[in-house]
Amino acid sequence: MTKENDQENILNELRSKIDFLDSQLIELINKRSEFVIKIGKFKEKQESPLYRPVREQKIYDTIAKINKGPFKTESFLSVYREIMSGSLSLEGELSVAYLGPEATFTHLAAKKKFGSSVTLEPLSSIPEIFEKVENGKYTYGIVPIENSNEGMVTHTLDEFIDSELFIYSELFLNISHCLLSNAENILKIKKVYSHRQSLGQCKMWLMENMPNVELVETSSNAKAAIRAKSEMFSAAIASDISAELYELKILAKDIQDFSNNVTRFLIIGKDLNQISNNDKTSILCSIKDRPGALFEMIEPFYRHKINMTKIESRPTKKQLWEYNFFIDFIGHYQEPKVQQLLEELRSKALHVKFLGSYPKGLTY
């Protein structure tokens, strides 16, 4: 017997062991699914949400705690995301509306959060997502709220003013921009399409590499890719998924000005979360236009030892120089100190609106 035959026999034996373990994994996942179906029936009787971010977070935390390698925890999370996605489809119907068309970063965020087994539907605008989730057409919506470089998405902030929906979950997505085109190289490009936020995130790169090219805003990066595909000597700033979907060449990768480019997305719906012990709460406040009013609203956070993580102002559009303040802070609305804080804020502000308590999101 030759040395090559010995090595082949060893490989076949190892592969045989993997095949056996694969069969056990399949059996175990199907056994897990039997319990999932039973849980789904309980949820249906109790009319409770199919998707529970607190439960999702607990599973992810457990994986991180018990995994000893060599399989990476990040890889396990990806595997379990699809297992949980398939489990949700077994429990019942769940639909998620996102800012489309396909291959937008919001679409990518939706897939990262819910996996491939949940129904994902593209809609044309952020107001439409809020409207269709409010009227029950879709279970949840996913919308961008802020970018680490470009700041808040004001269209999303403004929708919360009149909407009855809650923030149910959040996630953070690392954003990597590519320059896509039918052209062979950058020198032939005369026009670049992209969403306003993406143009801002790639501003320095564009000035350095394409200073004389016309920049045109579109409603989404996916629509920019569609325009670039249909026009000669045009390009789009979009994701590498867009290149694959719309059959475009990638002329340059990672063209964002800062490597640490992250967008925060919110999952909105009609449900409320229980405490996860790793929660964030969002509220909306409007205050009187007088000296010291903003200080009076912020001071209770310090006194109650509650960490405010964000404050953003937007005009109310109802009265001149009157503003709404969107505030994120650490804690859950069911915690006594948070309830005390909200009660005190209501006594000081013109209006306080609770937007949701939810587990702090993961970065994908």
In a domain, 223, yes or no: yes
* 3 state SS of 62: helix
Task: With CA atoms as reference, report the closest residue to 326 among 264, 278, 277, 269.
Answer: 264
Containing structural domain, residue 195? 178-252
Asked if residue 285 and residue 248 are part of one domain, the reply reads no
Q: Tell me if 22 is assigned to some domain.
A: no
* pLDDT tens over the chain, length 364 residues: 577 778 888 899 999 999 999 999 999 999 999 999 999 998 888 888 999 999 999 999 999 999 999 999 999 999 999 999 999 999 988 999 999 888 889 999 999 999 999 999 999 899 999 999 999 999 999 999 999 888 888 889 999 998 999 999 999 999 999 999 999 889 989 999 999 889 999 999 999 999 999 999 998 898 899 999 999 899 999 998 899 999 999 999 999 998 888 999 999 999 999 999 899 999 999 887 778 888 888 999 999 999 999 999 888 776 666 788 999 999 999 999 999 999 999 998 889 999 999 999 988 8
Whether 42 is in a domain gets the answer: no
- Looking at the structure, tell me whether residues 248 and 291 fall in a common domain: no
Side chain identity at residue 261, one-letter code: N
Overall number of domains in the chain: 2
Residues 299 and 334 in one domain: yes
Rg of the chain's alpha carbons, rounded to an integer?
24
Please indicate, yes or no, if residue 141 is contained in any of the structural domains.
no
Residue 38: partners with Cβ closer than 8 Å, 6 or more residues away: none
How do strand 262-269 and strand 323-330 relate by DSSP bridges? unpaired
Task: Decide: pTM greater than 0.85.
Answer: yes
Distance separating the N- and C-terminal Cα atoms of the chain? 50
Domain of 302: which CATH number?
3.30.70.260
Go through the chain and tell me how many residues it has.
Answer: 364
If asked whether residues 286 and 340 sit together in one domain, one would say yes
Closest CA to 77 of 364, 360, 276, 361: 364
The whole-number pLDDT of residue 357 equals 98
Domain with residue 208: its CATH number is 3.40.190.10
Q: Are residues 282 and 248 in the same domain?
A: no
Question: Is residue 318 in some structural domain?
Answer: yes
The answer to the question of residue 193 being in a domain is yes
Same domain, 248 and 299: no
Token pair recorded at residue 187 = 């020198």
Residue 202 lies in a domain: yes
